[in-house]
Structure 1
Amino acid sequence: MDLSRRPLRIALIRHGESSANLDKRVYETTPDHAVPLTAYGHEQAAEAGKKLRELFEGEPVRVYVSPYLRALQTLESLGLDDLIGIAREEPRLREQDWANFQDTEDIVRQEALRNSYGHFFYRFTHGESGSDVYDRVSSFLETMHRDFETPDSPRNVLLVSHGLTMRLFCMRWFHWSVRFFETLRNPGNAETRVLLRQPDYRYKLDRPFEQWTQYEPTERERSAWL
């Protein structure tokens, strides 16, 4: 691979605030993939778009976006259409599958089970485990690396996705341990993490994910961020 073709920046953004972020009972009547942003979620995305425009220095951006409505609406509200050629809808960047129409009480019970079992390996009934999402993110990475090789590959890449998917993308990219992953919090709505290319063509995160349990990262894990 020609390392000089690697993008300068790979930005990850979580969708803005959705109606289900305010009330989980929305999942009882609305499919997860059809949950929309709130008005505030659109505002969050618009503000994030201004910061991303500065980051990208007004240059072209290749976009991969989850097909979930809240991710598509986030992309639209970023206001970066003039920098984006074609935004590729990428199902492998979707949210972790939890169920179809959800039973809120059952999901709350399963979330408690997941906390004791482990977020990476716990499989929701009729849904996925974190490790399943990790596998499809790994498959997506192969596609993205092939795209880096195209002659018109831009210097900026943007992934519009979901909190868990963002964490697992970084886990796969930086080869973090399961134990370290288990300590990490999701980013907030419309929050970003950016992989910045270094002079040696490796990447570092602009900032780490917050941790919700104590764990001292290894030297390798700490080396993932600036």
Structure 2
Amino acid sequence: MSNQDARTPRVFLVRHGETEWAKFGRYTSTTDVELTAKGALQVSSAAPIPRKRAIKTFELLMQSPPSTTAECEVTYTEDIAEWNYGDFEGLMEWEIKSLIKTKGLLQGREWNIWGDGCEGGESMQQVTERLDRLISQIRLIQKPYMNGEKPADVLLVAHGLILRCFLKRWLGLSLDFPLEMMLAPGAIGVLSYKKNNISIPAFHAGIALPFPDEN
């Protein structure tokens, strides 16, 4: 990554730490579930509205002040809330598929949340619309500073599925586009723009570390 690219605004995606429901694979959106002790450690180790688990994750991340004098603005928005699972809330994937089969939904076709959404919850289109709205707001903030004129990084603390949805929309992909991704509890992903160009959104497959003599 060139020094020029290093000054391009970034978007950091942070998934909240482990919860009891997430640990066992239960679909969790509107239900408030606390972080486990392990979940708190996952986030603390990553640190040098949203639900309780996302708020707690943010608080743990920010308990050590950033090493920059730049001002930080905190905003809570439902545009990055987890996909509303509706009738599937609290269920594991095999339970959802069994329920769909029992109700005769999808006519025997395998359920896929990316394209099928959730009965009683959100559709793919609804999730797409709110994520696109958030992405437009972020790009409006970052566009004037594509060459590092002023710090304009954005930190998003949210939930596993919606962050993977966000990455797809950041790249201009449909939510049902087959792009396999992993984002463990407490994990951090980084998005930015290629060639300092607001029209070329990209994700970092890897970030070059600074040389020892660099600030």
Match in the other structure for 1:207: 205
Identify unmatched segments of 5+ residues in structure 1.
1-5, 51-65, 209-226
Match in the other structure for 1:82: 65
Alignment of 1:104-115 (within 5 A): 104=91, 108-111=94-97
Match in the other structure for 2:53: 70
Flag the structure with higher strand content: 1
User: What's the secondary structure of 1:194's corresponding residue?
Assistant: strand
**Structure 1 length-normalised TM:** 0.66
Answer whether contact 1:195 1:203 (CA < 8 A) is retained.
Answer: yes
Match in the other structure for 1:17: 18
Match in the other structure for 1:142: 136
User: What's the secondary structure of 1:143's corresponding residue?
Assistant: helix
Amino acid at match of 2:186: A
Match in the other structure for 1:123: 117
**Structure 2 length-normalised TM:** 0.69
The verdict on how the C-alpha distance between 1:79 and 1:138 changes in structure 2, with shifts beyond 3 A counting, is: same
Corresponding pairs, count: 184
Cα distance in structure 2, aligned partners of 1:155 and 1:67 = 22
Post-superposition Cα deviations, 1:23-65, rounded to whole Å, max 9, x if no partner, equal 46797xxx83411111111111111223xxxxxxxxxxxxxxx
Amino acid at match of 1:190: G
Amino acid at match of 2:170: W
The verdict on how the C-alpha distance between 1:197 and 1:36 changes in structure 2, with shifts beyond 3 A counting, is: same
Residues 1:39 and 2:33 are matched in the alignment: no
Q: Pick 1 or 2: higher relative contact order, CA cutoff 8 A, min separation 6.
A: 2
Rg larger for:
2
Answer whether contact 2:97 2:111 (CA < 8 A) is retained.
Answer: no
Please state how far the C-alpha of 1:130 moved relative to its aligned partner.
3.5
Please state how far the C-alpha of 1:147 moved relative to its aligned partner.
2.7
Answer whether contact 1:75 1:160 (CA < 8 A) is retained.
Answer: yes
Answer whether contact 2:47 2:64 (CA < 8 A) is retained.
Answer: no
Amino acid at match of 2:96: Q
User: What's the secondary structure of 1:120's corresponding residue?
Assistant: helix
Post-superposition Cα deviations, 1:165-189, rounded to whole Å, max 9, x if no partner, equal 122212112122555x334234111
Match in the other structure for 1:161: 158
User: What's the secondary structure of 2:140's corresponding residue?
Assistant: helix
Identity %: 24
